Each structure stands twice: as structure tokens, then as C-alpha cells.
Homo-oligomer: A and B are copies of this chain.
Amino acid sequence: MTDVLRYRPTAAELSYTFGGREPVARIKSGDILDTYTEDCFGGVVRGVGDLPSQVCEFPYLNPVTGPFYVESAEPGDTLALHFVSITPARDWAVSSTFPHFGALTATHTTAMLHEPLEERVWVYEIDKTNGLVRYTARNSDFTVDLPLDPMHGTVGLAPGAFEARMTIVPDVHGGNMDTPELRAGSTVYFGVNVPGALFALGDGHARQGQGEVSGVAVEAAMNTVVAVELIKGVATPTPRLETDDHLMSAGSARPLEDAFRMSQHDLVTWVADAGKLDVLDSYQLISQAGEAPVGNVCDANYTMVAKVAKRYLPSVDMYQGAHARLRALADSYR
């Protein structure tokens, strides 16, 4: 029987790590979570005068809602989370530059002697009715409407090996992957590392470009509905995504070619295993039929996604048909 867990966090309940936290609630396979996530700035950047480096305090950045304890989940299982809906909670969103953060600036690790770029905030209007977000230039009167395409930048489980990781780090446990592929209609699979899986999510984006080049997307609080399924006894080495039409593997690492390698390696071997193809035959097929949408090139690890249309693959129900079941569950909830 499907239960719906409605959970709205208080500020004090927000989490800033994956791992190292007690669960905020418990949920079971087959249930639905209806929740709220604050934006990456904790909601305190509300106008162009609110410079993030002044109004936010490290490490209280990129809060996630959770973690949620999934009944019966144990290491070696896979947790499937299907995004039923992701809806901006406000009629505005914000973006910014941030000192020494982003792909086209010196950073903490790509350390240089440059002063930071100017810190600047952009406020976007969200028009849910027409599915638009409005960009407004700060130093001219140019504006343009971009498609609303809500997604979660951050979703993941507690990592293994007794680790706790800042929410801004993407790795094999998920985290801040910042891929636009993580939108409503997507199922994401994670390998479970600790009892209860302890999943959490946040960092909603009204939309983002591929690579999130400035380091900050169109950041938005979200009302989000997730359908949950636990797949017992099936391991998942790195986060995978499934939609009605595509399979995807995410890799998070530096340099960026290693993120690419991880994602492609996982997709090649996943398709080979599940589709009963020889590994080199799978390598060849993915080489010609695959896509490689960039996630982020700004976070502590960079994220690449390897993607292939199911229609080009041997027919197989991945994860025992979990995506189809979760789609049906999602339909029943709307």
C-alpha cells in the first residue's frame, strides 16, 4: 500500500552533508515523498543587493532536505527515486557569480593570483503558467524568456566507508551532480551504502545550462514529489538515470575526462551486462549511438553523463522494470 509522506523541513532540520546525520523521517519502498527544498542560498539571496558571500555563511550552503530512512535498505541494495514533479515554490529565482567559484574563474583548487571576478546577483521571474523564466541583464536593458525546466542539482545517499561529504560534492553516492537530466520523469538509481540508505535532496534549479559554467544556476526553492522503490540485492556502482526513452550513467571526478570515462565505462558495462553484449560490442555501440551531456564543470568534482536511447539497445527491463512501475505510481498520484 502506498503511503504519502508529507514533510516540510524547518530551517534547523536542513542538512549540509550526505552522511553523518540522523534521519528526519522514515519511508518504505512503494511510498511517495511530497516535500519542499530550500534554494542553494538558504533562501537569503532575494534581490540584487544580497551578495551571497555577504549574506550566506560557509558551510551553511546548499541545504538538502532529509535524510530519509528507507525501511529495509541495506548495503548492496539499490534505491530508485522517481521524480514525479518538481515545481518552483516562488515566482522568482536567483543566480549570481560567487568569488573564486565557477569554470571561468580562478578557484580554490585552480589557484591563481587573480582577484575574484565581480560578485553580482541576477533575479529571474518565474512564469509557471507559460513555463518561462525571465533573464534580465544587469548592465543593459536586455531581457529574454528561457524555458522553465525544473531539476534538482543535488540528490544522493549517505556515502560508504564512514564518510560524510558536504552537499556541494558530487561522487558515487550522488550529491551535487548538477545535471539537467534530473528532472520530473527521471528515475535515478543509487547504490545503498548504509542501513536505511539515508537519501536527501535539494538545490532546485528553475533551469541551468550544460556545465553550469558560472557555478550557479537559476536557483529556486521547490515543491517536489518523489516516488521511492527499493531494489533488494542489486548493487549500483555509480548513479544511473532512466527515463521513458533513455538510460544514463553519471560519473563525477576531476579532471573532466575522468568524469567522462567513469560515466561511459559504467554505461558500456551496464549495457553489456544487461543486454548480453560482449563488452567491446557494447563499447562500439555506445561510441556511435551515445550522448554525453555535461553536468557541471564547477563543483568539487565535475559531472558527466553518458546517455543512450533505449531503442538502440537489446530489449531489457533494467532493474526489474522499476522505472515503469514508478511511472505508474507517479501517474496514480497526480
Which A residues contact B (CB, under 8 angstroms)?
16-17, 19-20, 58-59, 95, 97, 103-106, 108-115, 117-118, 120, 122, 133, 135, 137-140, 142, 144, 146, 160-166, 207-218, 251, 253-258, 260-262, 264-266, 268, 275-281, 283-294, 297, 302, 304, 312-314
Pairwise interchain contact A292-B211, C-beta atoms closer than 8 A: yes
Pairwise interchain contact A294-B297, C-beta atoms closer than 8 A: no
Copies of this chain present in the complex amount to 4
From B112, B133, B278, B293, give the contact of A140 (CB < 8 A): B278
Q: How many angstroms from the CA of A31 to the CA of B194 in the assembled complex?
A: 39
From B208, B262, B313, give the contact of A288 (CB < 8 A): B208
- Looking at the assembled complex, report how far the CB atom of A100 sits from the nearest CB atom of chain B, in whole angstroms: 11
Known contacts A164-B162, A268-B104, A302-B257: A135-B285 contact under CB 8 Å: yes
- Looking at the assembled complex, report how far the CB atom of A146 sits from the nearest CB atom of chain B, in whole angstroms: 5
Pairwise interchain contact A287-B114, C-beta atoms closer than 8 A: no
Residues of B within 8 A of A283 (CB): 97, 104, 113, 213-214
A210 closest partner in B (C-beta): B292
Pairwise interchain contact A287-B217, C-beta atoms closer than 8 A: yes
Residues of B within 8 A of A215 (CB): 287
Known contacts A139-B281, A207-B288, A286-B209: A261-B302 contact under CB 8 Å: no
Pairwise interchain contact B163-A260, C-beta atoms closer than 8 A: no
Pairwise interchain contact B217-A288, C-beta atoms closer than 8 A: yes
From B254, B287, B304, give the contact of A216 (CB < 8 A): B287
Q: How many angstroms from the CA of A292 to the CA of B137 in the assembled complex?
A: 22
- Looking at the assembled complex, report how far the CB atom of A303 sits from the nearest CB atom of chain B, in whole angstroms: 12
Pairwise interchain contact B109-A113, C-beta atoms closer than 8 A: no
Q: How many angstroms from the CA of A286 to the CA of B217 in the assembled complex?
A: 11
Q: How many angstroms from the CA of A49 to the CA of B71 in the assembled complex?
A: 42
Residues of B within 8 A of A164 (CB): 19-20, 162-164
The residue among A104, A260, A266, A275 with the most chain B CB atoms within 10 A of its own CB is A104
Q: How many angstroms from the CA of A243 to the CA of B215 in the assembled complex?
A: 28
Residues of B within 8 A of A20 (CB): 20, 162-164
Residues of B within 8 A of A97 (CB): 280, 283-284
Residues of B within 8 A of A216 (CB): 287
New contact pairs (19) apart from A113-B280, A294-B294, CB-CB < 8 Å: A17-B162, A111-B251, A111-B261, A113-B265, A114-B114, A114-B117, A118-B280, A120-B284, A139-B280, A144-B312, A161-B166, A163-B165, A209-B292, A210-B291, A211-B260, A211-B264, A211-B290, A213-B283, A256-B257
Q: How many angstroms from the CA of A217 to the CA of B289 in the assembled complex?
A: 10
A112 closest partner in B (C-beta): B104
- Looking at the assembled complex, report how far the CB atom of A248 sits from the nearest CB atom of chain B, in whole angstroms: 12
A304 closest partner in B (C-beta): B294
